[in-house]
Structure 1
Amino acid sequence: MTAPVITGTAGEETAHRSSETRRINFRFSRRGRYAACLSARGRGPLVPELWDLGGGTPVPMTLGQPAGESSWSTVVPTDGGRILLGRAQAGGVHRLLLITPGEAPAPMPTTFHGGGFRLVAGGPEGAAALAFHGAGEGRTTVWRVPAEPGPLEAVATVPAVLGGGVWLDAFGRRLALSRHGDEPGTVVLDLADGSLSPLQGLAGGEHLLLAAPRGGVLLTTLRHEGAYRLGVRGTDDDGPTVFPRPLNEIDGAVTPLAFDPEGRRLALLVTRGVRSHLLVYDLTTEEIREAALPAGALYPSAHWSTAGLHVIHTTPDRPYAPLTVLNASGAPATRRGGERAAARARSYDGPGGRIEAVVYGDPARSRQVVLALHGGPEAAWQLSFDPLFQQMAARGIAVVAPNQRGSTGYGAAHRDAIRGAWGGPDLADILHLGRVVGAGRGLGASRPMLYGASYGAYLALLAVAADPHLWSRAAVVAPFLSGRELYTDGPATVRAMLDRLGGLEEITDDELGPRDLLRLAGRLRLPLLVVHGEHDDVIPVSHSRRLRDRLAEIAPPGAELTYLEVTGAGHDPLTGRDAHLVRDRLVHFLGTGSARWS
């Protein structure tokens, strides 16, 4: 039955859920005095949240009225302690509001219709941000957004599609941008006259990542022999960029975060398996040291000012929040302990090598256990706060969230193992883990359950089809039917991913055969919950509808399907306005096996 998700009581986890906080879309102000994000507490809507990083422990302040922002809304803090809110509305409309603590939001007079829209913090004196809006025919209009309520000023309309945004001076005049299209590269927008010119000194294919205007240092990247290298050069250097060996031999996935104000040190986010590491590279000595952080994950954004290095950090028991890691004296900061269920990393022996997983609770002794499969497929679970896993843990459900073959963070061989073999090595890993976890629970214990979203939903249903007797039930969000069906129905970005990762190639040399869920529907012989957003623009909702109709047609023995289509939701209904309702239904189904809600 197609219906919106409905509400109800969830019993034992109600108190836990009422104080739960999630935060998304973090930004820093130009000089780093403030950070802002969208935050939702418990059942409440997403609202703008401002953090003062000026001293002591950062404390959040909720600003504006709870209008229920979407995850597409943008928040940009100003160095004056305000928030510029870009509110995304239906039909591709964006409205700007300036929010001052203690005052009602002030609407800005300009509304943007259609096209790409984004905000870059900072600008000339008196500006809160620059607004970039697609003007059609490959053109972009740039607007100066004032830090006080008032009209916007059109700075320039340029014949290019522009992305990124790195300030090259301390006065907000010169902004480096990525130009897309026929002539890609790094260009500089001069706000004094609206001109656009190439950034001098870069080699072909070299792109700017970060700048330290006071120190006159630039960080670039250049693809070389199939991998990206990080390069360092001076703003006024005439010679080639230097690619330091220590900087390019770091083990793990490296994301540059920020220069210190003088351009002498560089902060790097390094992902290894399920956790993030914060490394600091000294440009003079080429030494690298690691900052002390609790095991967790870092948001890929930071700001380094004279007050210290500000990062956004999370652990499984604490949501994302700003943290000053290195203060003015260079000493590492500490962070208070969490208030929710903790998780740990655990390794399992798999058919193709080690499989690392994030584990909540005791999979052997808990009343129930669920294997949770991430989307992607080029993705991975990390030691970060997850409201759904917290709610499962509160209900007494142990969680094993594995990074099976195909996941990122474990080297190219692990990541590429499923290239041209979707539902092959990764499915073998999940079936193996299901047997290991099930055997560890002993005779008479409930069998493991499955949960998955997007690609993880597809993989979870394949695992059910491969061995229905291994599992007790499965709950999935936004599954697709097969790579071929998704290629026919999906958007261009998804088709490009399928081409790149070999998602159209079929496996035919084993007992399961081609990984098409319509063909395998007769093997889905256990209780299933299928959730899909009505307006999913990544995996069309028609895929779940067709699976629902196929199961209703053939009625395989033991199959009990509950189909929930979330009205108005997109690809991830767990982050939308009705996210708490979706989580309630998922956890209730996994906890009871029943679709009935009381």
Structure 2
Amino acid sequence: PERWTLDGPEPYAVSLPLDQPEEPDTEVLPLADGRVLIRRLVADRHDFSLLYPTGPGTGQLPVGAVGRTDEFTELTLLPPSPDGSRAYALSAGPRATTVWLVTGGAFGPEPVAEVPGRCSGGVWLDRTGRILALDRETDGVVKAVAVDLGRGGEVTPLLQITEESNDRLLLADADSGLLLIRSDAPGHDRLGWGVLGSPRPVRFPECLRLPDCAVTPFAVQPGQVLMPESCAVALRIDGAAGSWLGVWRPAGRRLHQRRAPEGWLAGSGVWTRDAVLQLPYATRAVPCGVARLDAPADVLLHVPDGPRAPDRDPAASPCPGPDAELITEPAQAESPDGEPPNGPRTPVMCRPVPLQQAPLTGRVAPG
């Protein structure tokens, strides 16, 4: 295991060597205090420990274990809690899923919520680490639900595009309420986007539909409060030529494709508030590095006034590859919420609501 620090003037890695190497299915998770949580599968249980550097060696603090009830039960670490001090894991069985608080509690790993159905994924919807979105499968259909860990795991619907569609949440931004979604409601799996609390339905831009390529969002620009259409989104594109980058913004309606840096840890990266994409990479010459990519101009700027154009198919040919830039639409005047981009907005509390009708609007955000 290694701990990478990427937000200083120079990125650096701290090795955390132990007596023996780790198994391929071992998971690690960084905490805000510099320690690293590690999960190992040992016989019939999942063991958790905290690793930290101690001079030339590595300190290891066991924090407990979670037993395996049967071979069909899986356990995975959830993305880091936004508060940085707690870590959670998801134990998914065939009929129910348990959310475990692994660190940050009083007595080691403890169950904090049980959700009927088999759940996967895991996206935080707020900055306090209270509201967790999960993709729940029941009766063969997958729907994203919101789990309130502050109220004993209370479950409310989050995505309900159609009754029969499989609707998964891939990414969410707590500042703007922007949601990135994958759904087969249009007839086959498509990438779409919506906004928490918005009365408008989920939209599925044609520019994100690349033949023979898999497109997966992995980072959203923070700090765009009440302006979800202005958020820059980074996407991983996988095709026959390998993996490369896509940059897109809902209001821009353009997908810019860029070559990934050599040694990129594919699918990882983070946006700064001023729209600089930071991508971690490792090569023989640079074992711990960060490449920085400025967002294209149409991703940075508000959209100028002009007529609204309909969606259309971006390409009838195979995926163009990492050296091409795919531009499918001119900039749009009207924001995707139906208002001028620079016009006034009524503050809306971003809270989970079904995105089929999304009736809960007009809730004034607290000062």
Change (3 A) 1:239 1:247: same
Match of 1:105 in 2: 60
SS in 1 for 2:199: coil
Match of 1:343 in 2: none
Deviation at 1:296, TM superposition (A): 6.2
Matched, 1:69 2:22: yes
Deviation at 1:188, TM superposition (A): 1.0
Q: Tell me the distance in 1 between the aligned counterparts of 2:210 and 2:295.
A: 29
Matched, 1:165 2:122: yes
Match of 1:53 in 2: 6
Matches within 5 A, 1:60-459: 60-63=13-16, 65-90=18-43, 92-102=44-54, 104-114=59-69, 115-123=73-81, 125=83, 127-134=85-92, 138-147=95-104, 151-182=108-139, 183-193=141-151, 194-200=153-159, 202-203=161-162, 204-223=165-184, 227-249=188-210, 252-261=213-222, 262=224, 263=228, 264-291=231-258, 293-294=260-261, 299-306=266-273, 308-313=276-281, 323-326=290-293
Deviation at 1:79, TM superposition (A): 2.3
Computing the radius of gyration from Cα coordinates, the structure with the larger value is 1
Deviation at 1:178, TM superposition (A): 0.9
Matches within 5 A, 1:487-566: none
Summarize deviations over 1:36-95 as a string: whole Å, max 9, x none.
xxxxxxxxxxxx1110011233222112523321011110111222111001223x4210
Q: Is the 8 A contact 1:78 1:121 kept in 2?
A: no
Deviation at 1:205, TM superposition (A): 2.2
Q: Is the 8 A contact 1:276 1:295 kept in 2?
A: no
Match of 2:362 in 1: none
SS in 1 for 2:208: helix
Q: Is the 8 A contact 1:94 1:112 kept in 2?
A: yes
SS in 2 for 1:192: helix
Q: Tell me the distance in 1 between the aligned counterparts of 2:212 and 2:288.
A: 26
AA partner of residue 254 (structure 2): E
Q: Is the 8 A contact 1:98 1:149 kept in 2?
A: no
AA partner of residue 89 (structure 1): V
Q: Which runs of 5+ in 1 are unaligned?
A: 1-47, 331-409, 413-598
AA partner of residue 198 (structure 1): P
Q: Tell me the distance in 1 between the aligned counterparts of 2:94 and 2:186.
A: 35
Deviation at 1:133, TM superposition (A): 2.2
Superposition TM-score, scaled by structure 2 size: 0.67
SS in 2 for 1:85: strand
SS in 2 for 1:246: helix
AA partner of residue 230 (structure 1): L
Q: Tell me the distance in 2 between the aligned counterparts of 1:159 and 1:101.
A: 40
AA partner of residue 19 (structure 2): P
- Determine which structure has the larger helix proportion and give its number: 1
Q: Is the 8 A contact 2:211 2:318 kept in 1?
A: no
Identity within the alignment, %? 32
Q: Tell me the distance in 2 between the aligned counterparts of 1:240 and 1:279.
A: 24
Q: Tell me the distance in 2 between the aligned counterparts of 1:218 and 1:186.
A: 11
Q: Is the 8 A contact 1:86 1:96 kept in 2?
A: yes
Q: Is the 8 A contact 1:201 1:240 kept in 2?
A: no
AA partner of residue 277 (structure 2): L
Q: Tell me the distance in 2 between the aligned counterparts of 1:277 and 1:124.
A: 28
Q: Is the 8 A contact 2:125 2:172 kept in 1?
A: yes
Q: Tell me the distance in 2 between the aligned counterparts of 1:137 and 1:206.
A: 19
Deviation at 1:212, TM superposition (A): 1.1
Q: Tell me the distance in 2 between the aligned counterparts of 1:247 and 1:177.
A: 23
Deviation at 1:124, TM superposition (A): 7.1
Change (3 A) 1:173 1:328: farther
Summarize deviations over 1:354-374 as a string: whole Å, max 9, x none.
xxxxxxxxxxxxxxxxxxxxx
SS in 2 for 1:300: coil
Deviation at 1:274, TM superposition (A): 3.1
Q: Tell me the distance in 1 between the aligned counterparts of 2:269 and 2:67.
A: 29
AA partner of residue 168 (structure 1): L
Q: Is the 8 A contact 2:264 2:279 kept in 1?
A: no
